[in-house]
Amino acid sequence: MTTANPSTSPTPPTPTGQRAPRTPSAVPNGAVGRLRLAWGAVVAATVVGIVLCFWQLTGVLDHSRNAYLLDVGVFRDAGQAFLDHAPFYGDDFPSRSGFAFIYPPLAALLFVPLTWLDETTMQLTWTWASVAAAWLVLWMAVYRVLPRELPAWVGRQFRGRAGRAGFSGVLGVGALGFTLCLEPLQVHLMYGQINVFLILLVAADLLGFTPRWLRGAGVGVAAGIKITPAAYALVFLVRRRWGDLARSLGGFLATVVVGWIARADQSFDFWTDEFFAGDRGGAADFEANQAITGLLSRAGMDPDLAQKVMIPGLLVIAVIAGWAAWHLLQARRPVSTLLLMVLAVSTAAPIAVTHHWTGLIVAVVLLAAQLAALVAGRRDRWDWPTLLGSAVLLAANWVTTTIDDPGYQSSRYHHYQVYPEDGPYSFGTANWFYGNIQGLAGIVCLLLLCVAAWRIRTGSRRAAEQGALLSQP
């Protein structure tokens, strides 16, 4: 009778459908080394991001103290018009800058608190709130790509669900530093825009942070403040999440009712006139418009024709994006789905100037997760279309200065400014590609995310995002 050698004996069978328990020796030393290398890269990138965050915030806050934030100034004017019972729309709107207010009446009601602060305090408050909103979006995205169990070197304070949330927050600060170097978020902060708050409401729904009984309402409320976010309800439709879809509709209708109760006369004007003005956000050939309408107009197409062409074009993009979103969510990839929808909405919109693309900040987290999984050798956690698309998108939007730089407003930092502000636009191949690089990169990334969805459909790759940053192999 011989005694079995434990090192050569076969692993005892396990019940059908159950995985054999993992032992330390089951993980090859090379895999452990690559995992440690990947986590080291994540930590190093976070440190760099925190440094970038401090550098960028210095310029952002200096700009908020010393410059005039045009858009939040208009929001404040709308809040004051609400208090004074003045018109919100048309030539009688009391705008200090001369720019129009183009949002539904509820938005004017929400902007009333801006009138309680002096100009500088109001601008600084809006800026800090915008930065906090961007960080929250990144925090949610990081949380979705972190493994449920963090490495042993992470302190006890970061264990469990609450600890994982805290660790996501730290990594989110690092990600924030990189996003503050992206042109859409920089321009958002330069003008005091609203888009990052809207993408926060949308992200909370699409990434699953809204309570189940309320999920979908965030998209509806965002649509009630600015119509465009209604397009994100497509995700609920293709996934047959009828409750979420109903809550989106309910949230939107609630904003309409509240706005109507607050200012019935202005609500009537908006929903019967302003709502149908397709050019209220600007002309299609405006050089900062990086939607497909802008790309076509600057290629020589008549702007009105470009708008008409994109009516069926919008439907085509909606169908393709809906198909891709279904497959990405089927593979448990909510962050990719959110980025897909941001790009679909931005490229298909009648007009989408660069700060309308603020939602692309989640690409920073997505690219970091993809690179970390690649370094760790986790082929089940990354795929080349998502990695390449995110990299192209971020490279096209990267800015190497702060918004208080005296030379900030130049084509070196804003590619579209290679065109004169008022036209005319002549077709020159080099200028066209350079001036439209953000829109072109958005289209490329959108198509590559669709390729990722197609690979999921064919079974080539079903890389879930949970644990992409970074779980034990």
Q: For all residues of the chain together, what is the average pLDDT?
A: 88
178 dihedral zone (left: phi>0; alpha: psi -120 to 50; beta): alpha
Q: Give the model confidence (pLDDT) of 219-229 as tens digits.
A: 999 999 999 99
Q: Give the model confidence (pLDDT) of 134-189 as tens digits.
A: 999 999 999 999 887 777 666 666 777 788 889 999 999 999 999 999 999 999 99
Q: Give the model confidence (pLDDT) of 15-45 as tens digits.
A: 444 444 444 334 455 677 788 888 889 999 9
Averaged pLDDT for residues 118-124: 97
Q: Give the model confidence (pLDDT) of 66-80 as tens digits.
A: 999 999 999 999 999
Averaged pLDDT for residues 196-207: 98
Q: Give the model confidence (pLDDT) of 256-267 as tens digits.
A: 999 999 999 999
Residues 6+ positions from 394 with CB-CB distance below 8 Å: 182, 360, 363, 364, 367
CA angle 214, 220, 223 (to 5 degrees): 155
pLDDT value of residue 382: 86
Is the confidence at residue 1, as pLDDT, over 80? Answer: no
163 dihedral zone (left: phi>0; alpha: psi -120 to 50; beta): alpha
Q: Give the model confidence (pLDDT) of 345-387 as tens digits.
A: 999 999 999 999 999 999 999 999 999 999 988 777 889 999 9
332 dihedral zone (left: phi>0; alpha: psi -120 to 50; beta): left
Q: Would you state the structure tokens that stand for residue 119, as one six-digit string?
A: 């100009």
pLDDT value of residue 287: 86
Q: What is the CA radius of gyration of the chain?
A: 24
> Whose CA is closest to 306, among 278, 274, 281?
278
Q: Give the model confidence (pLDDT) of 309-336 as tens digits.
A: 999 999 999 999 999 999 999 999 999 9
pLDDT value of residue 422: 58
Averaged pLDDT for residues 411-415: 82
Q: What is the dihedral of CA 314, 316, 322, 328, to 10 degrees?
A: -110
297 close to 285: Cβ distance less than 8 angstroms: yes
pTM: 0.89
Higher pLDDT, 188 or 4: 188
Averaged pLDDT for residues 419-444: 81
Share of the chain above pLDDT 90, in %: 69
